[in-house]
Amino acid sequence: MSAVRKTYLTDATGELRVPMREIVLSTGDSVVLYDTSGPYTDADITTDVERGLPPLRSGWIEQRGHRDTQLACARRGEITREMEFIALREGVSAEKVREEVAAGRAVIPANRNHPETEPMVIGEAFLVKVNANIGNSAVASSIEREVEKMVWAARWGADTVMDLSTGRDITKTREWILRNSPIPVGTVPIYQALEKVGGKAEELSWEAYRDTVIEQCEQGVDYMTVHAGVRRDFIPLTARRKTGIVSRGGSILAAWCLANGRENFLYEHFDELSDILREYDVTYSLGDGLRPGCIYDANDEAQLAELKTLGELGRVARERDVQVMIEGPGHVPMHKIKENVDLQKELCDDAPFYTLGPLTTDIAPGYDHITSAIGAAMIGWYGTAMLCYVTPKEHLGLPNRQDVKDGVIAYKIAAHAADLAKGHPGAQGRDDELSRARFDFRWEDQFNLSLDPDTAARYHDETLPAAPAKRAHFCSMCGPKFCSMKITQEVREYARTHGLETEQALEAGMREKADEFQRTGAGVYRPA
Amino acid sequence: MSAVRKTYLTDATGELRVPMREIVLSTGDSVVLYDTSGPYTDADITTDVERGLPPLRSGWIEQRGHRDTQLACARRGEITREMEFIALREGVSAEKVREEVAAGRAVIPANRNHPETEPMVIGEAFLVKVNANIGNSAVASSIEREVEKMVWAARWGADTVMDLSTGRDITKTREWILRNSPIPVGTVPIYQALEKVGGKAEELSWEAYRDTVIEQCEQGVDYMTVHAGVRRDFIPLTARRKTGIVSRGGSILAAWCLANGRENFLYEHFDELSDILREYDVTYSLGDGLRPGCIYDANDEAQLAELKTLGELGRVARERDVQVMIEGPGHVPMHKIKENVDLQKELCDDAPFYTLGPLTTDIAPGYDHITSAIGAAMIGWYGTAMLCYVTPKEHLGLPNRQDVKDGVIAYKIAAHAADLAKGHPGAQGRDDELSRARFDFRWEDQFNLSLDPDTAARYHDETLPAAPAKRAHFCSMCGPKFCSMKITQEVREYARTHGLETEQALEAGMREKADEFQRTGAGVYRPA
C-alpha cells in the first residue's frame, strides 16, 4: 500500500524533531521530503485555531539568554538551535548554515515573538523557497478565510506567507495568522501605517510608521518589506514608463515625497529602523518599489537606481546585525532576467534575492501564474533564493482558495526546476523516484510522489475510474496497445531473458534469436 | 466600444486575403494580430462540417502547373502564392520567406491535397509556432469530438494540429479533420500501419507502411512524423535508462528491430519514402523516437546518436527537395536545454526544430502544461521553431476540451515569451498595448488584447461583477485606496500640471509646490 504520512528527523540528542513528509511506496521503500505544512498534517496533533500552534522555539529563545540576531550569532561562530533544525531539514551541515548566514548570503526569518515558526533558511546555497501572498483587501475577504488560506498555502508547499491585508481588522487578522502559522510571516508595514493616517499618503510620518513597525515586531512578524530605496530623485525616472510605479508601497511613498517635497522618510530613518528590527530579529526585505510593471519598463534606469540604493541600505543593516533580503521584479522578458541577478549580486553583496515572478509577457491576464513561473524558474536557476508566487488572478482580483493553490503549485514547479538546474544535491531524487514509479506502472506511488496527488489521481480517474486501472499497465492517453512504456518493458524483458543486455550481445545474438521472438513475441501486444 | 473582429490583409493585387484578428480599442485605435482560427471566426462565412472548408489554395496549385515542392520552388528562385500569403501574415518580405525555405531553415507544410489550409511557415526567423495534439485512443473519444477539438485548438492559437488517433475509424477521423482544418495537419503513419497488421509490431513491413503513407498523402496530411532515426544499434543504448523508450513510434520500431533482427525499415527505405513525400509536398517531421522520458535520461547517448542520424536523413531528404523538420525532447532540466538546440543546429544544418516541451521536472503530473511551458519558452528563445504542446493530462489520460485549451494557452504564452526574448519585430507591440490599457484602466481593451479574453473577464467579474467596475480605476486585488496604478496616474497628473515633468524641474520645483499639493492632493485617495 502506498501512503503519505508525517515523519520527523531527529538529531543525536533526540531533542530536535524536524517535520518531514514520508511517501511510503508500494515497493516497501520510503521517500522523505521537505515539508512546510506544519502540525496540521500530523495525525497525532490536535490543532485549535483559537489557541494557536505550540510555541516550538520558546525554550530555545529563553535558553539563549541574549537578544542577538541569527546574523550576530553566526558572525561570532555560534550555531543556534534554529541553524541545527535547518541543517537537518535541508540535509546540510549546521556549520554550512552558519557560514551562509554570517556572510549575509542567507537569512533565517524568525522573530523571537513568533516561536510557533519551524525555522527555515533563505539563500542561494539552499533549496529555492516559495512565498505566497494572502490578506484581505477593502473589497473582499474575512479573517477566517485568510487564516485558512495561510494553512492551505503551507499545505501545498509555501515556505513563507506575506500578509498583505489592507482592509479593516488588520491587526486582528495578523494576530490570528501569526499564532497559527508554522511558516515565517512577512508584512508591508506601510499599509497599516497608511490606515492610521486615514489613508492620506501625504500625512504619513516616520513616527506613525515607526509605531506600526514596533506593533508588528511585537506581534511576531518575521520579515518586513521596507521601500526605503524609493528615493525622491528616482521618481521622475518613472515618468516615461508605460505603467509607472506598480508597487503599492512604492506609489504611496512617491506620493508622499512629492506632496512633502522631501526625501523618503524610510531612507532618512533607516538606521533607527534597523535598530528596531534588530531587537526582535526581524529580517529586512528591502522592497523594490520601482520594479517594472510591464515588459516595456524592464531593467530601466529607475529600477536599477533603486537596486543600487538597496545594496547600500543592505550594508547599513548588516553592519547593525540585521538580516537582509533584496526584492526584485516584476515583469521581465527572458533575455533580460539574468542581468537582474548579476546586478543584484554585484550591487547587493550576494544578499538573498527575493523576486516576484518575473512575468515573461504581459499578454496573458488570467494565466500569470504561468507567464511568471517561466521567469521564476529561470531566475531561481540563476541564483534567486525565494520566489514570490503570482496567482491566476494577478491584475484581475483577489485570489480565492483555488487560486492560492494554483499559484503555490506553479511556484513549487519553478523552484524545483531551479533546484534541478542548479544541481542541488538530492533534488533529482524525487524526479527519479516518480519516473521509476511511472515506468513500473505504480500509479498510486506516482500520485503520492507528485506535487499534487489529488489532482493527478483525479485526472487519471476521469477516463479510467475503475480500481483495476490503478494497476493497469497503460492509461487512457495511449491505451493498452500503444503504451510505449509497456512495450519498452517487454522489449527489455525479451532482451534480458535472451542474454541481449549489452550492445555486443545484441549484435551477435539478434539475428539468431529473431525467429524465436517472432514465434513467441506476440506478448508485446497482449491485450490488457 | 472595445471589440474583436475578423479582418483581412490584402496584397497590391487584392487577390490574396490573409485573415487576421483585429482588436478595436475603446480609444478608437486598432491592433491587428496573427490569427489561426480560420473561417470559423468570420461572421460573414457560414461553415458546414459536412462539406468542409472552401479550398483556398486550389487555384494556386492548379495555376502552378507543376508538382514541385515549396523547397524546390524556393531553390530555383520562385516565390509561390503560399510564400506571399505567409509574408503578409508574418509581416516580412516574400523574398525572406523564400530564402529561409530555400536554405532549409524553414518549412511550409502544405500538402497539395489539403487546399483548405491557410499557409504558414515554421522556422527560427519567424514567429514561434505551437502544435496541438488531438486524436482518439482505443479507450475514449469520438470523431465529432476530435474535429471539434481541432477547431477549438485553432481558435485559441494552435498553428498546426497532429491527429494521433489510434482507435477505430482512423481514416474517417482524419478525413473529417483535414476537410475542416484551416491549419496544417500532421500524423504519425506508423500508428495506422500497425492497425493494418493487427497490432503485431513484428509483422510490420515497409510495404504496409508505404501503403499507409500513400493513403495519408492522398488525403492531404501536411507533415508526417517518421521515426527513421531509431536505428537497431541505438536500442541497447536505452537499456540503462529509467524510462526506456517513451515515444510510441520509437517503441514500436524498437520492438520490430528486435523481433526481426534487422535494421529499421524506415531507415533502409528512406530514399523511397522521400520520393513519395515529394510527390505531395508533404513535410518530414523526423521523429525523436529515443527522446528522454524523464530528467534522468536527458541528453543521453541514445538521444544524441539518434539526433545525429536525423541530421543525416535530413540531408538525404533535402537533396530530394523534401522539406524537413527535426523533432526534439521531451524531459530536460533547464541547464541542459540549450545544448539540445546547439547540437540540433550543428548536426541538422539549422533545419527547423520542433520540440515537445521540454518538461523541466518530472514531479508534477497534472501540471505538465506548466512544467513544460517553462522548457518550451526557453527552447523557443534558443531557436526552436515550433513547440508541441503538453496538456495538464499528460501521463495521466486523454485531454478533454478544457485540457486542450489549457495546453494551447500555456504554449501561446511560451511562444510569445520566446518571440519577445528573440526580439522578434512587432512581438512586443501587443504587450505594450495591453500594458497601456491596464495603466489606463481600460478593462475591456485589456481583456480583448489578452490571450484568453473570456477567462480574464470572468476572473475580474468574480469579485466585482457590476458594470461600473469595468470602468473603475482599481480592481478587487488591491481595492481603490491601494491601487498603485491609480496613485501613479495621480502623481503624474500632479507633476504635469505643476510643470514637474523632468528631473530638473522636479528638483527645482518640488519644495515650493509641496505645500500646494498637500492642500489639494487628497485626491490621491479619493474614495471610488
Residue A137 in this model has a pLDDT that exceeds 90 = no
Q: What pLDDT does A503 receive?
A: 52
For residue range B408-420, list pLDDT tens digits in order: 999 999 999 999 9
Q: How far apart are CA A489 and CA B136, in angstroms?
A: 24
Q: How far apart are CA B226 and CA A296, in angstroms?
A: 42
Mean pLDDT of B17-21: 97
Q: Which residues of A touch B305 (CB under 8 A)?
A: none
On the question of pLDDT at A508 being above 60, the answer is no
The per-residue pLDDT for A11 is: 87
> Rounded to a whole number, what is the distance in Å from the CA of A116 to chain B's nearest CA?
29
Interface with B, mutate which of A203, A231, A262, A360 (most B CBs under 10 A): A360
| Listed residue (B222, B145, B204, B179) closest to B38, CA to CA | B179
Chain B residue with the nearest C-alpha to that of A335: B421
Mean pLDDT value of segment B313-323: 98
Specify the pLDDT at position A180: 96
In the numeric block, the cell 528562385 is attached to B77
Q: Is B5 helix (H, G, I), strand (E, B) or coil?
A: strand
Does A129 have pLDDT greater than 60? yes
* Residue among B457, B69, B51 nearest B278 (CA): B69
- Which of B459, B478, B512 lies nearest to residue A392, judging by beta carbons? B459
- pLDDT above 90 (res A94): yes
Out of A62-66, A100-104, A329-333, B18-22, pick the least confident: A62-66
User: In chain A, what percentage of residues exceed pLDDT 90?
Assistant: 79
pLDDT at B137: 61
**Torsions phi, psi of B117, nearest 5?**
-75, 140
Of the candidates B240, B239, B266, B273, the one whose C-alpha atom is nearest the C-alpha of residue B252 is B266
Count chain A–chain B contacts defined by CB atoms under 8 A.
476
Residue B278 · residue B69 · CB < 8 Å: yes
Buried/exposed code over B472-503 (b: 16+ C-beta within 10 A; e: otherwise): bebbbbbbbbbbbbbbbbbbbebbeebebeee
Q: How far is A357 from chain B (nearest CA, A)?
A: 12
Beta-carbon count within 10 A of A97 CB: 29
What is the rounded average pLDDT of the residues A372-384?
98
pLDDT in tens, A183-206: 999 999 999 999 999 989 999 999
pLDDT at A491: 74
- Helix H, strand E, coil C: the string for A397-440 is CCCCHHHHHHHHHHHHHHHHHHHHHCCCCCHHHHHHHHHHHHHC
Report the residue of chain B nearest A482, measured CA to CA.
Answer: B248
Label the pairing between strands A129-134 and A386-388: parallel
Phi, psi of A22 (to 5 degrees): -105, 125
d(CA B236, CA A507): 10
**Per-residue pLDDT, B520:** 42
When the pLDDT of each residue in chain A is averaged and rounded to a whole number, the result is: 91
- 3-state DSSP assignment of residue B69: coil
- Phi then psi for residue B167, to 5 deg, are -90, -155
Average pLDDT over residues B329-351: 98
By Cβ distance, the residue of A137, A439, A463 closest to B242 is A439
This complex has an ipTM of: 0.93
Mutate to test the interface with A, among B370, B384, B406, B462 (most CBs of A within 10 A): B370
User: CB–CB of A201 and B413 under 8 A?
Assistant: no
pLDDT band at B209 (very low <50, low <70, confident <90, very high): very high
pLDDT of A498: 66
Query: Which of A245, A459, A492 lies at the smallest CB-CB distance from B488?
Result: A245
Among A460-464, B239-243, B335-339, whose mean pLDDT is lowest? A460-464
At B481, list the grid cell: 485606496
pLDDT number for residue B424: 94
**Which pTM was predicted?**
0.94
C-alpha cell of residue B351: 533545419
Interatomic CA distance for residues B372 and B391, integer angstroms: 9
| Closest CA of chain A from B45, distance in Å | 28
| pLDDT for the residue A463 | 77
Q: What is the mean pLDDT of residues B427-456?
A: 96
A173 and A144 Cβ atoms separated by less than 8 Å: no
**pLDDT for position B467:** 67
Indicate the residue of A201, A460, A514 with minimum beta-carbon distance to B259: A514
Chain A residues closer than 8 Å to B369 by CB: 370
- CA closest to B399 among chain A residues: A477
Provide, as residue numbers in chain B, all residues whose Cβ is less than 8 Å from the Cβ of A475.
Answer: 395-397
The pLDDT of residue B523 is above 60: no
Residue labelled with grid coordinates 524536524? A18
Which of B89, B277, B266, B97 is CA-nearest to residue B186? B277
CB contact set of A359 (below 8 Å; sequence gap of 6+):
A330, A331, A332, A368, A371, A372, A375, A390
Min distance A140 CA to chain B CA atoms (Å): 7
Tell me what the pLDDT averaged over chain B comes to.
Answer: 91
Q: Tell me the helix, strand and coil percentages in chain B, rounded to 5.
A: 50, 10, 40
pLDDT band at A256 (very low <50, low <70, confident <90, very high): very high
- Chain A residue closest in CA terms to B527: A199
User: Are the C-beta atoms of A52 and A179 separated by less than 8 Å?
Assistant: yes
Q: Looking up cell 496613485, which residue turns up?
A: B487
- Predicted confidence at residue A510, as pLDDT, reads 46
Among the ranges given (A510-524, B92-106, B373-387), the one the predictor scored with the smallest mean pLDDT: A510-524
pLDDT band at A351 (very low <50, low <70, confident <90, very high): very high
Per the structure block, which three cell numbers stand in for B289? 523516437
pLDDT band for B477, please (50, 70, 90 cuts).
low
Q: Which of B369, B477, B510 sits opposite A396 (nearest CB)?
A: B477
Give A528's pLDDT tier (boundaries 50, 70, 90).
Answer: very low
Lowest pLDDT segment from A101-105, A514-518, B213-217, B282-286: A514-518
Query: What are the E-state strand segments in A91-179?
Result: 106-107, 122-123, 129-134, 160-163
CB contact under 8 A, A370 and B370: yes
Q: What is the DSSP letter of A184?
A: -
Inter-axis angle of helices A401-421 and A427-439, to 10 degrees?
100
Q: What is the mean pLDDT of residues B185-206?
A: 94
Cβ-based contacts of A381 with chain B (< 8 Å): 334-335
Chain B nearest-CA distance from A319, in A, is 32
Q: Look at residues B231, B467, B432 and name the one whose alpha carbon lies nearest to residue A243.
A: B432
Task: Say how far apart CA A438 and CA A473 lie, in whole Å.
Answer: 10
Instruction: Give the DSSP H or E segment for B433.
Output: helix B427-439
Phi, psi angles (nearest 5°) of residue B187: -140, 170
**Segment A439-451 mean pLDDT:** 96
Rounded distance between C-alpha atoms, residue A405 and residue B115, angstroms: 46
B96 Cα to chain A: minimum distance (Å): 25
Tell me the per-residue pLDDT of B257-292, one tens digit each, with 9 for 90 and over: 988 999 999 999 999 999 999 999 999 999 999 999
pLDDT for A20 equals 98
- The residue of chain A nearest to residue B460, with distances taken between CA atoms, is A396
Whether the per-residue pLDDT at A478 is higher than 70: the answer is: no
- pLDDT for the residue A471: 67
In tens, the pLDDT along B364-394 reads: 999 999 999 999 999 999 999 999 999 999 9
CA–CA dist A509, A503 (Å, integer): 10
Q: Which residue has the higher pLDDT, A79 or A167?
A: A79
Q: Is A174 a residue whose pLDDT tops 80?
A: yes
- The reply to whether residue A413 touches residue B361, judged by beta carbons under 8 angstroms, is yes
B32: cell is 491587428
- The pLDDT assigned to B215 comes to 98
In Å, how far is A84's CA from the nearest CA of chain B? 28
Percent of chain B surpassing pLDDT 70 = 90
Question: One-letter amino acid identity for A149?
Answer: K
Q: Residue A477: its pLDDT value, please?
A: 64
pLDDT band at B468 (very low <50, low <70, confident <90, very high): low
Of B166, B435, B481, the CB nearest to A199: B481
How close, in Å, is residue A69 to chain B by CA atoms? 33
Please give the pLDDT value at position A139: 55
Interchain contact, A366 vs B435, CB within 8 Å: no
Cβ <8 Å between B363 and A451: yes
End-to-end CA distance of chain B: 23
Q: Which three cell numbers stand for residue B4?
A: 474583436
Give the three cell numbers for residue B253. Answer: 520500431
Ranges assigned E (strand) in B40-177:
106-107, 122-123, 129-134, 160-163
Rounded to whole angstroms, the Cα distance separating B282 from B275 reads 10
pLDDT of residue B33: 97
Contact B10, B84 (CB under 8 A): no
| Partner residues linked to B186 by β-bridges | B162, B223
Contact B187, B225 (CB under 8 A): yes
- State the smallest CA–CA distance between residue B65 and chain A in angstroms: 42
Distance CA A291, CA A310 (A): 12
Contact B409 A364 (CB under 8 A): yes
Give me the residue from A200, A295, A397 closest to B462, CB to CB.
A397
**B201 in Cβ contact with B260 (< 8 Å):** no
Mean per-residue pLDDT, A457-478:
75
Ramachandran assignment for A85, one of left (phi > 0), alpha (psi -120 to 50 degrees), beta (any other): alpha
* Whole-number pLDDT of residue A489: 78
Residue range A356-368: mean pLDDT, rounded: 98
| B371, B492, B524 member nearest A239 (Cβ) | B492
